[in-house]
């Protein structure tokens, strides 16, 4: 495919050679909340509440995305480039059946993608919903944010905009070409022995830059076999993703209908504003939704990641097997769901 990767303004390179890092950063579990510790201040050697930069994302497939995001941060210093190019990793992964064009089709057999990006400084946002045939919806969302006066484009309009912007695409209007592409994609997915448990859901990726600024993005093909035109939580600001540069950021994965009716990531950020640790804020949001639904958490299928301005991070999910990826300059790990044994009702 001919695709010229979009070029964006980049910040100054970080001078890595001048950085010193502790060799043994520790990550502890305090009262069920994952708290990062151990990054020594260069000058004083004192531990800080959290490390910067910090990248947090959903699911184990978030780890390679985080790793790429960190490399981009080190090369360019741009938190937006880090979010976008981190998410490219997941969107490009032909083995992934829930993000990007390898995602599960809707009930009409068509893959429709949702994506959102937010940039803390200036409180900027862009998103695309039910977009077809665009390889990197996160780039389309970023272009909406940066090149238009709007926040959200949907369906055919979103696709036309992405094409005008020169983003990589596959031919959805030629049945023959599309089927051919689809056959190749399915064959590639089949070849992978790793398709299975980890191969589901949305990538939500949050970045806290070394300068304390925040950005985030998410991308998904949404629920498999959804009604054509169905839009989930992911492209909706405050539902699948929310970034507030004064406080922190939160991202979601799971059943969009149980997330978007509660503006869940907005709620999590507001709870962090009141002083809750990111993990506590995720748990409190789930508890509130479970109570309102009068259901046990188990069948809600909602999972969240969050980080705050101080470099603390956390997560909680009603899926026992939910996991999330955390990356700093000293380590990159997949952590278990802190709420795995919590009953939310
Ligand atoms: C949606 N939250 O469309 C997204 C996708 C997802 O499990 O994470 N599904 O509802």
**Tens of pLDDT, residues 271-281:** 999 999 999 99
Q: Give yes or no for residue 192 having a pLDDT over 90.
A: no
58 alpha carbon – ligand 1 mean position (Å): 12
Average pLDDT over residues 184-204: 61
Q: What is the DSSP letter of 16?
A: G
What span, in angstroms and rounded, lies between the C-alpha atoms of 238 and 236? Answer: 6
User: Which mutation among 130, 154, 256, 260 tests ligand 1's pocket best, with the greatest number of atoms within 8 A of CB?
Assistant: 256
In the set 58, 76, 90, 202, the catalytic residue is: 202
Residue 53's CB is within 10 A of a number of other CB atoms, namely 23
Q: Give yes or no for residue 194 having a pLDDT over 80.
A: no
Residue located nearest, by CA, to atom 5 of ligand 1? 222
- What per-residue confidence (pLDDT) applies to 2? 31
- What per-residue confidence (pLDDT) applies to 189? 61
Instruction: List, in order, residues 6 or more apart from 239 with CB less than 8 Å away.
Output: 233, 252, 256, 259, 260, 263, 264, 265, 266
The 3-state DSSP class for residue 332 equals: strand
For residue 220, what pLDDT band results from cuts at 50, 70 and 90? very high
Of the two residues 327 and 173, the one the predictor is more confident about is 327
- What per-residue confidence (pLDDT) applies to 176? 65
Tokens at 209, concatenated: 């830059």
Average pLDDT over residues 304-333: 96
| Ligand 1 atom nearest 252 alpha carbon | 2
Q: Which of 82-86, 100-104, 158-162 has the lowest mean pLDDT?
A: 100-104
What span, in angstroms and rounded, lies between the C-alpha atoms of 87 and 136? Answer: 8
Per-residue pLDDT of 48-71, as tens digits, reads 468 899 999 999 999 999 999 999
Share of the chain above pLDDT 70, in %: 78
Q: Could you write out the DSSP letters of every residue in 33-63? A: EEEEE-PBPTTT--B-SS-SSEEEEESTTHH
CATH number, domain 37-336, options 1.10.8.50, 3.20.20.100, 3.40.1280.10, 3.60.20.30: 3.60.20.30
145 alpha carbon – ligand 1 mean position (Å): 22
For residue 41, what pLDDT band results from cuts at 50, 70 and 90? very low
- What per-residue confidence (pLDDT) applies to 45? 30
Q: Give yes or no for residue 94 having a pLDDT over 80.
A: yes
Residue located nearest, by CA, to atom 10 of ligand 1? 256
| Ligand 1 atom nearest 226 alpha carbon | 3
Q: Give yes or no for residue 283 having a pLDDT over 60.
A: yes
Kindly report each contact of residues 177-184 with a partner whose C-beta sits within 8 Å and lies 24 or more positions away, as own/partner: 178/133
- What per-residue confidence (pLDDT) applies to 172? 79
- b/e string for 258-288 if b means 16 or more Cβ within 10 A? bbbebbbbbbbbbbbeeebbbbbbbbbbbbe
Q: Are 90 and 65 in contact (CB under 8 A)?
A: yes
This prediction has a pTM of 0.82
Average pLDDT over residues 185-190: 65
What is the chain's mean pLDDT, rounded? Answer: 84
203-208/313-317 β-pairing? unpaired
| Ligand 1 atom nearest 201 alpha carbon | 8
For residue 35, what pLDDT band results from cuts at 50, 70 and 90? very low
Residue located nearest, by CA, to atom 7 of ligand 1? 254
| Ligand 1 atom nearest 200 alpha carbon | 7
What span, in angstroms and rounded, lies between the C-alpha atoms of 303 and 323? Answer: 9
Kindly report each contact of residues 169-176 with a partner whose C-beta sits within 8 Å and lies 24 or more positions away, as own/partner: 169/133, 169/134, 169/135, 170/1, 170/101, 170/133, 170/135, 171/133, 172/110, 172/132, 172/133
Of the two residues 173 and 264, the one the predictor is more confident about is 264
Q: Which residues line ligand 1 (CB under 6 A)?
A: 201-202, 220, 222-223, 232-234, 253-256
31 alpha carbon – ligand 1 mean position (Å): 29
Residue located nearest, by CA, to atom 3 of ligand 1? 222
Q: Give yes or no for residue 26 having a pLDDT over 50.
A: no
Average pLDDT over residues 123-147: 98
- What per-residue confidence (pLDDT) applies to 185? 67
For residue 188, what pLDDT band results from cuts at 50, 70 and 90? low
User: Which mutation among 87, 130, 240, 315 tests ligand 1's pocket best, with the greatest number of atoms within 8 A of CB?
Assistant: 240
For residue 315, what pLDDT band results from cuts at 50, 70 and 90? very high
User: Which mutation among 112, 224, 229, 234 tests ligand 1's pocket best, with the greatest number of atoms within 8 A of CB?
Assistant: 234
What span, in angstroms and rounded, lies between the C-alpha atoms of 300 and 289? Answer: 9
Q: Give yes or no for residue 144 having a pLDDT over 90.
A: yes
Question: Which has the closest alpha carbon to 305: 252, 248, 343?
Answer: 252
Q: Which of 131-135, 291-295, 322-326 has the lowest mean pLDDT?
A: 291-295
- What per-residue confidence (pLDDT) applies to 27? 31
Average pLDDT over residues 26-33: 32
**328 annotated active-site:** no
Kindly report each contact of residues 66-75 with a partner whose C-beta sits within 8 Å and lies 24 or more positions away, as own/partner: 66/205, 66/325, 66/326, 66/327, 66/332, 67/327, 67/332, 69/205, 69/207, 69/327, 70/327, 70/329, 70/332, 73/14, 73/207, 73/209, 73/210, 74/13, 74/14, 74/16, 75/10, 75/13
């Amino acid at each position: 495919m001919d695709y010229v990767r979009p070029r964006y303004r980049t910040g100054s390179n970080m001078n890595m050679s001048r950085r010193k890092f502790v060799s043994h950063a520790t990550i502890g579990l305090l009262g069920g909340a994952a708290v990062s510790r151990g990054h020594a201040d260069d000058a004083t050697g004192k531990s800080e509440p959290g490390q910067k930069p910090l990248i947090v994302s959903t699911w184990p497939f978030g780890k390679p995305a985080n790793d790429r995001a960190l490399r981009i941060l080190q090369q360019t210093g741009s938190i937006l480039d880090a979010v976008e190019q981190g998410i490219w990793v997941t969107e490009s992964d032909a083995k992934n059946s829930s993000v990007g064009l390898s995602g599960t089709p809707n009930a009409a057999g068509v893959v429709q993608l949702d994506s959102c990006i937010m940039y803390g400084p200036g409180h900027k946002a862009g998103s695309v919903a039910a977009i077809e045939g665009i390889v990197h919806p996160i780039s389309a969302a970023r272009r909406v944010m940066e090149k238009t006066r709007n926040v959200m484009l949907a369906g055919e309009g979103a696709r036309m905009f992405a094409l005008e912007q020169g983003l990589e695409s596959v031919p959805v209007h030629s049945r023959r070409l599309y089927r051919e592409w689809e056959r190749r994609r399915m064959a590639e997915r089949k070849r992978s022995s790793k398709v299975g448990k980890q191969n589901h859901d949305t990538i939500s990726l949050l970045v806290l830059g070394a300068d304390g600024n925040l950005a985030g993005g998410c991308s998904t093909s949404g629920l498999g076999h959804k009604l054509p035109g169905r839009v989930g939580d992911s492209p909706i600001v405050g539902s699948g993703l929310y970034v507030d540069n004064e406080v922190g950021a939160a991202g979601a994965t799971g059943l969009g209908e149980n997330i978007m009716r509660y503006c869940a990531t907005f709620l999590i950020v507001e709870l962090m504003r009141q002083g809750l640790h990111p993990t506590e804020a995720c748990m409190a949001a789930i508890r509130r939704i479970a109570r309102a639904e009068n259901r046990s958490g188990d069948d809600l299928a909602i999972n969240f990641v969050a980080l705050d301005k101080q470099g603390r991070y956390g997560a909680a999910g009603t899926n026992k097997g939910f996991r999330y990826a955390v990356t700093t300059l000293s380590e990159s790990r997949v952590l278990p769901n802190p709420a795995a044994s919590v009953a939310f009702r």
